Amino acid sequence: MNVKFNTNSFANNTQNYNQYKQKQPNFTGNPLQNSADVASEIMQDSNLFGPFLKIYDKFTDGIAKHFTSKIVNSKPIIGLASKFKNSDNLFQHCLTVGSVITSGLYMEKTLTNDKLDKDRKKTLAVNQGLTFLVSTVGAYSLDKYVKGWWSKLTEKFAGHLLNDNKFVENFHNHNKTIKEANKKLEEAAKGTSEKPLLKKTAKLEEFVKMQPSYKALGENDAKALISKIKGMSVLRTMIVFGFVYRYFVPVVVTKPANWLCEKYLDYKKSKDNGKNQPSTKA
């Protein structure tokens, strides 16, 4: 026999209603369903948006079948993925390639501009190239610099997602225990020829997957949670690269670079004039 008591004060205060019919305060709705999910459901079911969404769905299916599947399964992508699989900076490299293409276009436009004289064209193109190089190096450095601080934020964020106040503490303790155990194993193996089997410290995603609250989630919710944590990592790089390319360079770097460029052109012009003068005399 299993008896459940509902002892909350609310029930006691509403005796008239609950005297004969004690209701269990259970939660029947999907706890992870938010307003956006509800909105998308409404949109899918509605007669107004339904046809458009179906067309869009078929369109993306077509892209997946005729473009994405071929690109993803192509030799260059598999080769690149194999080469960069251990790189922590793959996303940074992707952003840099995008910037190389855009900067290259602007440099090409400068070099083919008929309104500019030859010297100016070259100097401006070199200026653009150097600005790009310096800012890219700066972006990588800044990204590396804020990585540690951002990881701490990501840990906190994961704790919030799992609704676990002690998540960060547990995560650090878990890795600390592994490190200490490894240290002991290494000390024990000193003087012997055998290599100790050391344990790897857990990465944030791995530790999240170990949590009971994560395991209790459904497949889609678990995927969404991991996607959110992964999103934090790319968000850092996006903010840093965006800050350098779209704010710092135009506001801070461009003016001094242009000033230097003008100074160099003036210097070159005066030098050329100096060279030409004796020849005209002769």
Partner 1 sequence: MKVNSIQRDMTLKQGNLRLHSESQNFREKNNAGVYENRGYNADYCGSFTGKSEAATTAIKKGFVDKILASKWFGKFAKYSNDHNISTSALIALVLAGVMRPATIMALPGKKDKEDKIYASGHAMASGIIGFLVSTAITSPFDESIKKFFGEPDKYLIEKNVAKKAGRKGSKPTLERMKKAIAYLDKKVETAKTAKYYEPLLEKLTKQTGAMETLAKNIPDWIIGVPRAILTIALIPPILKYVFGVEKKKKEEPPKDTVVNNNSMEIPKMDFIEKPAFQQFKGGVK
Residue 124: phi, psi to the nearest 5? Answer: -65, -40
Taking contact as CB under 8 A, which single stretch among the options 62-70, 113-121, 135-143, 274-282 is the one that binds partner 1? Answer: 62-70
Residues 84-103 that bind partner 1 (CB under 8 A): 84-87, 90-91, 94-95, 97-98, 101-102
In the numeric block, the tokens 């500019």 are attached to: 116
Write the CA distances from 102 to 80, 90, 95, 105, 192, integer angstroms. Answer: 22, 19, 11, 5, 58
CB of 228 to partner 1, least distance (A): 4
Specify the residue, 230 or 268, whose C-beta has the smaller distance to partner 1: 230
Cβ atoms 128, 103 nearer than 8 A:
yes
Cβ atoms 268, 126 nearer than 8 A:
no
Write the CA distances from 74 to 63, 89, 93, integer angstroms. Answer: 15, 22, 19
CB atoms within 10 A of CB 246: 10
Nearest CA-CA partner of 227 in 194, 205, 254, 244: 205
CB of 268 to partner 1, least distance (A): 24
Taking contact as CB under 8 A, which single stretch among the options 39-47, 63-71, 167-175, 176-184 is the one that binds partner 1? Answer: 63-71
Residues 17-56 that bind partner 1 (CB under 8 A): 24-25, 27, 31-32, 34, 36, 56
Nearest CA-CA partner of 45 in 35, 53, 36, 55: 53
Specify the residue, 40 or 276, whose C-beta has the smaller distance to partner 1: 40
CB of 82 to partner 1, least distance (A): 6
Backbone CA torsion sign across 46, 51, 54, 56: negative
Residues 3-22 that bind partner 1 (CB under 8 A): 3-10
Write the CA distances from 237 to 1, 223, 245, integer angstroms. Answer: 58, 22, 12
CB of 34 to partner 1, least distance (A): 6
Structure tokens at 235: 């968000």
Residues 174-233 that bind partner 1 (CB under 8 A): 197, 213, 216, 224, 227-232
Q: Dihedral through CA 51, CA 57, CA 59, CA 63, nearest 10?
A: 180
Q: Is 280 in the site for partner 1 (CB under 8 A)?
A: no
Specify the residue, 97 or 282, whose C-beta has the smaller distance to partner 1: 97
Cβ atoms 136, 240 nearer than 8 A:
no
CB of 138 to partner 1, least distance (A): 15
Nearest CA-CA partner of 213 in 272, 174, 167: 167
Specify the residue, 10 or 20, whose C-beta has the smaller distance to partner 1: 10
CA angle 129, 89, 151 (to 5 degrees): 125
Specify the residue, 156 or 268, whose C-beta has the smaller distance to partner 1: 156
CB of 24 to partner 1, least distance (A): 8
State which of residues 61, 180, 262, 266 lies at the interface with partner 1 (CB under 8 A): 61
Residues 244-263 that bind partner 1 (CB under 8 A): 245-247, 250-251
Q: Is 70 in the site for partner 1 (CB under 8 A)?
A: yes
Q: Is 239 in the site for partner 1 (CB under 8 A)?
A: yes
Residues 121-180 that bind partner 1 (CB under 8 A): 153, 156-157, 160-161, 163, 165
